[in-house]
C-alpha cells in the first residue's frame, strides 16, 4: 500500500439496515469515519444479497477497493466486506 504502517479494523455491522434510513445513515457515517482512519476495514455480518451490498457500499466505490461476499442467495444472507 506504500504506507510505513498498516492499520486494520473490524466492525460487526449486524445488518445493512435498508428498512430504517436513520440507522442506515448512522452506520454509513460510522463506516466513513473508520475508513478515513484505517487502511483496511472489515465489516462483518453485512446481511444482504450482493446487489444490496453494492448499493449500500456506493459511497466508497471511488475511494476504496471493495471486496465483498454473501454466504448464499437472498436478502437474509450474511456476508462480509473489506474496504481497502
Cβ neighbours of residue 84 under 8 Å, at least 6 residues apart? 1, 39, 40, 64, 65, 66, 67
Instruction: Please report the pLDDT score of residue 22 as a whole number.
Output: 94
Tell whether the torsion through CA atoms of 81, 27, 63 and 49 is positive or negative: positive
Give the tens place of pLDDT for each residue, 3-38. 788 999 999 988 888 889 999 999 999 999 999 999
pLDDT category at 41 given cuts 50, 70, 90 is very high
- Interatomic CA distance for residues 48 and 79, integer angstroms: 7
For residue 28, the 8-state DSSP code is: H
Whole-structure pTM value: 0.85
- Alpha helix locations (H) across the chain? 21-37, 50-56
pLDDT category at 61 given cuts 50, 70, 90 is very high
Instruction: Please report the pLDDT score of residue 38 as a whole number.
Output: 94
Instruction: Please report the pLDDT score of residue 19 as a whole number.
Output: 85
Amino acid at each position: 500500500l506504500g504506507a510505513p504502517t498498516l492499520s486494520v479494523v473490524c466492525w460487526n455491522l449486524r445488518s445493512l439496515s435498508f428498512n430504517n434510513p436513520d440507522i442506515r445513515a448512522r452506520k454509513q457515517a460510522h463506516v466513513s469515519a473508520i475508513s478515513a482512519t484505517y487502511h483496511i476495514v472489515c465489516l462483518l455480518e453485512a446481511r444482504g444479497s450482493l446487489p444490496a451490498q453494492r448499493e449500500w457500499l456506493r459511497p466508497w466505490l471511488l475511494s476504496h477497493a471493495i471486496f465483498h461476499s454473501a454466504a448464499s442467495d437472498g436478502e437474509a444472507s450474511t456476508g462480509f466486506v473489506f474496504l481497502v
